[in-house]
Amino acid sequence: MEKSKQINCLPSKLSFLKRATLCKNLAAQRLCAYIARKQTNLVLAADVTDSKTLLRLAEQFGPLICLLKTHVDILVDFTADLTEQLRAVANKHGFLICEDRKFADIGSTTQHQLYGGLYQIAKWADFITAHTIAGASMLESLYHNPYQNNASSFSSPGIFLIVEMSTIGQLADSEYARKSLIIANQYPDLIAGFIGQSTFNQNPQYLQLTPGIQLTASKNQDGFGQCYRTPKQAIQSNGTDLIIVGRGILEAEAPYQQAEIYRQLAWAAYKDNVS
């Protein structure tokens, strides 16, 4: 019997140190260790459009976060040098990097998007995000680096499968979530966890991340359908492990202080869960 099946309670009731021993994905194990050591389950969504600002945010918020979530395809000045600098800042402050690329294509195309092209994501990201819409075959393709006979022999980052989204009218339902979990279980060493809004995962080897977080709950506040819930709602009512915050921090009057407030709220909610 798998170790994780012996644990008979919701994943969010277990400490991150315990979860680290249950995760089969190596990057997820490292993430749990960072979370426990730094006492932070806060992820910063660094949605900015130039490299200098991205590096500044990584440096500034590095001490407060466990994971930096990027969208490198919105940068106007992306270079490979940026990713090296970003990795150095991540190592210095002890956080990991997730490129929120939301892969969703057929396997053959996805391989090239992950391992090749301008961004060479697999070379520098600890995690990526992917939709399950294309089915298990797409994940199968990610195991294989089509360039590995060349200079690049790196393997796939850990994957967070997107099971449901934070927008009004998003299409994924509980059946989609159930089937996504089945797919995840076919690739336990590759899948680090899920991105979603509700409680759908009972397996502590997977981490759950939730975006759409602000200090006040709201619907469609940005006019483009984004819905927000509070850190406490996400962690205590919806059983998530990590909160992802972007504009709630970046657009605050005092962003660093605001990030610390999110960190404290999220950490207190986690501690309540495991107590």
Q: Could you say whether residue 231 binds ligand 5BU (CB under 6 A)?
A: no
Task: Round to whole Å and give the CA distance between 255 and 244.
Answer: 15
Is 47 annotated in the active site? Answer: no
Closer residue to ligand 5BU, CB minimum distance, 89 or 195: 195
- What would the two tokens of residue 35 be? 């979370």
Closer residue to ligand 5BU, CB minimum distance, 47 or 50: 47
* Least distance to ligand 5BU, CB of residue 81, Å: 23
Please select the residue that binds ligand 5BU; options are 244, 259, 265, 266, rule is CB under 6 A.
244
Residue nearest ligand 5BU by beta-carbon distance = 246
Please select the residue that binds ligand 5BU; options are 11, 157, 158, 246, rule is CB under 6 A.
246
Q: What is the DSSP string of 138-180?
A: HHHHHT--TTTTSS----PPEEEEE-S-SBTT----HHHHHHH
Is 102 annotated in the active site? Answer: yes
Closer residue to ligand 5BU, CB minimum distance, 123 or 247: 247
Please select the residue that binds ligand 5BU; options are 7, 23, 32, 45, rule is CB under 6 A.
45
Binding span for ligand 5BU by CB under 6 A among 74-82, 84-92, 110-118, 245-253: 245-253
* Least distance to ligand 5BU, CB of residue 250, Å: 7
Q: Distance of CA 145 to CAs 110, 115, 161, Å?
A: 11, 6, 19
Amino acid at 235: I
Q: Could you say whether residue 247 binds ligand 5BU (CB under 6 A)?
A: yes
**Which residues 75-104 are close enough to bind ligand 5BU by CB under 6 A?**
100
- Adjacent-strand bridge partners of 167: 226
Annotated catalytic residue within 18, 47, 50, 105: 105
Binding span for ligand 5BU by CB under 6 A among 148-156, 179-187, 242-250, 255-263: 242-250
Q: Is the dihedral of CA 115, 116, 117, 120 positive or negative?
A: positive
* Least distance to ligand 5BU, CB of residue 151, Å: 31
Please select the residue that binds ligand 5BU; options are 15, 36, 47, 217, rule is CB under 6 A.
47
Q: What is the dihedral of CA 201, 262, 94, 207, to 10 degrees?
A: 0
Helix orientation angle between 255-274 and 51-61, rounded to the nearest 10 degrees? 50
Count CB atoms within 10 A of the CB of residue 88.
12
Helices (H) and strands (E) in the chain, counts: 11, 10
Annotated catalytic residue within 18, 102, 179, 232: 102
Amino acid at 171: L
Q: Convert residues 139-178 into a mask of x (bound to ligand 5BU by CB under 6 A) and - (unbound).
A: -----------------------x--xx------------
- What would the two tokens of residue 12 be? 């969010």
Pairing assessment for the beta strands 218-219 and 227-228 based on DSSP bridges: antiparallel
Instruction: Give kind and range of the element (H or E) at residue 243.
Output: strand 242-245
Interface residues with ligand 5BU (CB under 6 A)? 45, 47, 100, 162, 165-166, 195, 211-212, 226, 244-248
Catalytic residue annotation:
102, 105
